[in-house]
Amino acid sequence: MTPTFKSILLAGTIAMLPLATPARAAPEEAPLAEIVTAPVEDAAASEVDSTARAEEAKAKIQKEMDEAVALIEKMFDTSSLPPIEPARLTLAQKTMGQLIPNGSLERMMDNLYGKMFKTLMGEFGSQSDLMLSIKTGVESEQIAKLDATTKDKVADMFDPYRKEREDQITKVVKPLVTEALSDMEPPMREGLAKAYARKFTAAQLTDINGFLATPTGTLYANEWIAVQADPEVMVAVVKAVPPMITKFIDRAPQIEKDLKDLPKEKQLVDLDDKELASLARLMKVDVKVLKDQRDMWKADAVAVDTAADDYAIDTAVDAAEAAADVAIADPAYDRSNWSAADLKRVEELELANDNASIAAQQAAEEAAENARKKLPE
């Protein structure tokens, strides 16, 4: 994902945050008398608890972000890259200074933010069909039939200050977006400068800088980021996503088949003692640690098999009981009403089934006993 799209995602997230929690700003949530009569010490304690929770949440988010950054750094490891010639880096930094002057990301967001935020406010604001449906419990299809004036009156009954509130959200969020994007520009310039210094020679960077110094180049430098948030670009990119997903869905059976053709990966329980000894040497651990782990996995597998056998037995018992219930309800299942030939055939098959079950159990016991003889003490 390019830095530009990161900026877009950031703006979208910030734009939706105030909309996701409209109740926080609602003035009618608590009567004024309750606020006036609330004990001061309780209010202070509540404020302390709220601050502590906020700090705890902030620390948790910071930890998650640090882990994400560490993962990205691992994925895109730059420690093995050769050093950059200082002269080339200086030329590349000049290039980025022209391509990403101060305020470039904000200009891009000005191209996107107003349209996006206005649409979001329309779809999720207090007057939208969705929000009115949530507040009233009336189906949104029914609300969609109302004219705009009626929707305004309904929305005003819940929040007569909604327009002022939406304006205030815009005033609060816009500067925050601007500040966040301003913080992103310097590292973005530096990262791109290093990338350009590696991708282009000093002569090529000189040519690029020469072009950017021309009137056409200057216009290009001022617009190349902002144009990525152009409505036509955004719509084209979004429209390209469904066909891509459809391709994956259509090819899923073939992909699944290809994956099934691969040999099944081994688990610890599949390794014999020799393989386990080799694994222990590779991992520089005591082979007993691996054996204990393998035995534990085997025990779990036996427990699962036993549970499956118990389930099969329970199912058979349930089926027999169900058959008995049917026999009681339906006289046709009463064996006294069967012919001698039918009764003989059923009883012979039942006997064969019982004998096969006993034989299978005996064979399993013999196999286990043979295995014990081969296994080490």
End-to-end Cα distance, the chain: 57
pLDDT (tens place) for every residue of the chain, 377 residues total: 444 444 434 444 434 343 333 333 333 333 333 344 445 556 666 677 778 888 888 888 888 888 888 888 888 888 888 899 999 999 999 999 999 888 888 777 776 655 665 665 555 555 677 778 887 888 878 888 888 888 888 888 888 887 787 778 777 777 887 888 888 899 999 999 999 999 999 999 999 999 999 999 999 998 888 888 787 887 888 888 888 888 888 888 888 887 777 777 788 888 888 888 888 888 888 888 888 888 887 776 666 566 656 666 566 656 655 555 544 456 676 778 888 888 888 888 877 777 777 777 777 877 877 777 777 66
pLDDT score recorded for residue 94:
95
CA–CA distance, 97 with 190 (Å, rounded to integer): 9
Which pTM was predicted? 0.49
pLDDT score recorded for residue 213:
95
pLDDT score recorded for residue 150:
87
Contacts of 109 (CB under 8 A, 6+ apart): 7, 11, 177, 178, 181, 229
pLDDT score recorded for residue 30:
35
pLDDT score recorded for residue 95:
95
Contacts of 88 (CB under 8 A, 6+ apart): 197, 200, 201, 202, 205
Planar angle of CA 260, 261, 267, nearest 5 degrees: 65
CA–CA distance, 173 with 190 (Å, rounded to integer): 27
> C-alpha dihedral over 285, 291, 292, 295, to 10 degrees?
160
CA–CA distance, 374 with 364 (Å, rounded to integer): 16
pLDDT score recorded for residue 202:
95
Looking at residue 67, its amino acid is E
For the four alpha carbons of 252, 258, 261 and 263, in that order, the dihedral sign comes to negative
Q: Do residues 11 and 116 lie in contact, with contact meaning Cβ atoms separated by under 8 Å?
A: yes
CA–CA distance, 108 with 229 (Å, rounded to integer): 6
**Distance (Å) of CA 138 to CA 11, 57, 121, 148, 162:** 32, 36, 20, 16, 20
**Distance (Å) of CA 139 to CA 122, 143, 157:** 18, 7, 18
pLDDT score recorded for residue 27:
37
pLDDT score recorded for residue 156:
83
* Tokens coding 21: 């929690």
Any idea which residue has 């200050």 for tokens? 161
Q: Do residues 18 and 169 lie in contact, with contact meaning Cβ atoms separated by under 8 Å?
A: yes
pLDDT score recorded for residue 73:
84
Q: Where are the domains of the chain?
A: 3-22+62-241, 275-333, 338-377
pLDDT score recorded for residue 345:
83
